[in-house]
Amino acid sequence: METALNHNVIGQDPKILDILHSIDRIAESDCSVLLTGETGVGKEVFAEHIHHKSNRHNNSLVKVGLSTLSPQLIESELFGHEKGSFTGSVDDKKGLFELSDNGTIFLDDIDDFPYELQSKLLRVLENKEIKRIGGRKTIPLNIRLITSSKINLHEMVSQQKFRSDLFFRINVFPIVIPNLRERPDDIPILVEFFLNYYEPNKKIEVSGAAMEALVNYNWPGNVRELKNVIQRIALFVNGKIKLENLPEEITGSPSIENIFKKCSRCFIDKKMNFEQAMSCVESNLLEHALKTAEGNRTVAARMLGLSLSTFRDKLRKYNLDNHNLSF
């Protein structure tokens, strides 16, 4: 069976191999690529793979995490600014577009790009030039654009939260990356890869029962979650990974059972009524999901089968809307 193991794009699933074959056909062109997939599927790794296969591989690949930047910072970071253009701009600054000239720029989480700046991004793509904030001259650009989205941009366009003209410009070659749960045959080779990557000097095997549990787990955090789990386990295991070495959520979530047991004691000991007991269960489930997802709210919401907006509403309801929750 053919296996892909190029620049950390790892898989033998036909869907992954089809994607890689498609990338081979378009890598040397300059067409814009839109990568769509759930959080943790490896969109950045695919962007790296496209850049490496392209004619621009000897030049820069600039990665921009849009979800981590405020709207005010996004404009300055991408387009740069001239000295004195706003308070605090004591020097000229090149933007990330300029720094990626003759190379590739990867805009991760384009669905978080502010609507009010989308027309400016569109002009960059259409005119192949930028103007710094406060600047008068235009600066020509020669870049290849790769974007990614964790949600279907078609829906954002229909809701008028994303410009249709910008969508058509970035969606020249769309790639949908499958979830890890849709390609369970890739899990064993991913496990082997991460074990060798994090502990190359250890010879660690995985028992049949442990591997079966890993393959059967739903992986709401996708490859990123698998990578974190294997890294954590490999630090403490010598010889063989057994079922008891795996996190509880993978082996059957007895921690969920403990939540219900604890809440039943609350019901009896604190003489809660039905509504109070249900609130106790719900708040504990929210905290458990956040802990399991390592604070990633998108992943935690998916684990509970909730939309992200509903999940956030429930966090606020129970005063859990705090990035500094201790687990």
Which CATH number applies to 182-251: 2.40.10.10, 1.20.1260.10, 3.20.20.10, 1.10.8.60? Answer: 1.10.8.60
- Gap between the Cα atoms of 163 and 260, Å rounded: 46
Asked if pLDDT for residue 324 goes beyond 80, the answer is: no
pLDDT tens sequence across 24-37: 999 999 999 999 99
Residue 86 confidence class, pLDDT cut points 50, 70, 90:
low
pLDDT value for 89 = 58
Spell out the domain ranges in the chain: 4-178, 182-251, 254-317
Average pLDDT (106-122) is 94
pLDDT tens sequence across 188-208: 999 999 999 999 988 899 999
pLDDT value for 92 = 74
- Gap between the Cα atoms of 301 and 203, Å rounded: 36
- Gap between the Cα atoms of 292 and 117, Å rounded: 35
pLDDT value for 2 = 47
Model pTM score: 0.75
The percent of residues above 90 in pLDDT, for the chain, comes to 55
Q: How many CB atoms lie within 10 A of CB 66?
A: 20
Return the higher-pLDDT residue of 234 and 91: 234
Asked if pLDDT for residue 224 goes beyond 90, the answer is: yes
Left if phi > 0, otherwise alpha if psi is -120 to 50, otherwise beta: which for 42?
left
- Gap between the Cα atoms of 166 and 128, Å rounded: 14
- Gap between the Cα atoms of 300 and 221, Å rounded: 9
- Gap between the Cα atoms of 202 and 319, Å rounded: 44
Q: What is the CATH code for 254-317?
A: 1.10.10
Reduce the DSSP state of residue 273 to 3 states and report it: coil
pLDDT tens sequence across 277-319: 788 888 888 888 887 676 788 878 887 888 888 898 899 888 8
CATH 2.60.120.200 for domain 4-178, yes or no, is: no
